[in-house]
Structure 1
Amino acid sequence: MAAPTVTTDEATSVEATIATLNGTLDGDGGEACECGFEWGKDVPYGNTTPSESKTAGQTFSQPITGLQPKTTYRFRAFATNSAGTSYGTIRTFTTPARLPTTTINPATGTSALNGTLDDDGGEACDCGFEWGETEAYGNTTPAQSRRTGQSVLQTIGELLPDTTYHFRAFATNSRGTDYGADRSFSTPAALPTATTDPATELGAIEANLNGTLDGDGGEACDCGFELGLDTGYGTITATESKTTDQTFSQVIGGLVPNTTYHFRAFATNSSGTGYGADRTFTT
């Protein structure tokens, strides 16, 4: 009875976490042999597959699982009969990266986008965000290199007031790109801006105060005037609801003849109140 001879063939179906090991029993030494593989990251291997009964000229294979992405493994075939065990030459294979996975976190404030790289798939990933007013996004932030467990943060600017934005995280490695779920945030209205226009239709005891709402900050504003004998004002007129570029006026009466008055326009929305410059008129 002779010892068997065996060849270690190339690994096939190599993925990020699985592979198939292959061998050929060249000579069985005169009886059926138990054939399998030793494998691991280094020698000594540390892992042995189940064996199969084979005779001369037959091939044998064993799938292995639980591999790590982007890792090199060593393996060799073996064949055992009553005369002993023979080994094929050592071969290697390297698993590819796995597709990364990401988590999208709530936006911080109204301009800081947050995400976490849950799994880099075995290699550093380029991570960032897609964002826009719809789920078609249309904008992409610069990418940052991240590894598993690291957070991704990007601050975006030039947002419109009182607008809802959608965003999602992405992570790209050599296997492809993974996207986090869609999230959204809404920007608040901006502080409005108003212009105090000259008073008109001046009389001894009345006048017409005028203003222009230059910017409503994204929502309709309540617009009116403050009036008084100095810049402490003291009197507030009724208000009108206006939007950007609309004018507004208030007729005031009960004034004192031959008297100088100060006034200024104001506009209020949910973010606060904006004021025009101080103006004067004399009855």
Structure 2
Amino acid sequence: SPTPTPAVTTNAATNVASFSATLNGSLNPRGTTTTVSFQYGLTTSYGSTTATQTKSGNTVQAVSANISGLNASTTYHFRIVAHNNGGTSFGSDRTFTTLSATGPPVVSTSAATLIASFSAALNGSLDPHGLTTIVSFQYGTTTSYGSTTSMQTQTGNTYRNVTANISGLMASATYHFRIVATNSADTRMGSDRTFTTLSTTGAPVVITNPATLIASFSATLNGLVDPHGLTTSVHFQYGTTTSYGLTTAPQSRSDSSGTTMGSDKTFTTLTATGAPVVTTSSATNVTSSSATLNGSLDPHGLTTTVSFQYGTTTSYGHTTAMQSQTGNTYRNIAANISSLTTHTTYHFRIVATNSAGTRMGSDRTFTTP
């Protein structure tokens, strides 16, 4: 039977700022490997296309792409486009209008997290809208609030998450909160949201987080625990089925008022050997003329050479000395560089090569003082 064409829907743009936005859509590859991207531009002729993403499967999947370099106060058209062996499918045209170059802050109150008996984390999103902006959260047991978190200063023209940790709360109490931001153009307040603190003591509260440092024969399991006022023993169960069968060592041991299990998550180990796995990390020890470049590497079972490329553009132009690594575990890689220019932004990335291929980490930057 003929290969079915992918099913696509163009969804509303989000995070629409002065010069950037996030394009959204949904895709069902319908069982065949499918490439998907977004076309966008000032007219329905579009003219620009986001990077191609590859998807597979038989279910509807969310697809998004961040775009930048837009003009302020301008209406843009966009649509999702997907292609497989069955043909090409186009989503309907949608539009969004970028914000003015500067203006009042744009805020949204997000759900509270890490809610414990006497503390919580308040969350929101903010676009300073091109002007220096101070942002905080108001909170209290009514919509009169009465308490305010410390002011944070933000600049720029993009959306970012804002978080404030609060403590000294009452147990088993409902609190209201909202984000508030002010710049020279005006003050804006997010909608009111609520959360309810836990009882003073009780069963532990746990969250299973994604596994990290997944290698061929090892991985790191991660989670969060609130002991909920009582000495608590915590460990991970793991195995090839949801019967688990294996358990990590307890990290504390005592009686508690109950047992709580986090949700099940999965990870897949790497092949025994393969191309290196790399991540570019933040630069450290940055001075006016020198810095330390950092990254992580799993040689993936093969002798691997690793270095950093760096320079004032993403063409880089400079490379640190090669280091040789072997094994099947993640390790931190660092290289010191010197003879830099003061008040200059540098780009860098980690690069590793073995007999299975070359892999490059994402580009990161630092600026010398």
Fold shared by both chains (TM-score > 0.5): no
Q: TM-score, normalised by structure 2?
A: 0.27
Q: TM-score, normalised by structure 1?
A: 0.35
Which structure has the bigger radius of gyration?
A: 1
- The structure with the largest strand share of the pair is 1
Which fold has the larger relative contact order, with Cα–Cα distance below 8 Å and residues 6 or more apart in sequence?
A: 1
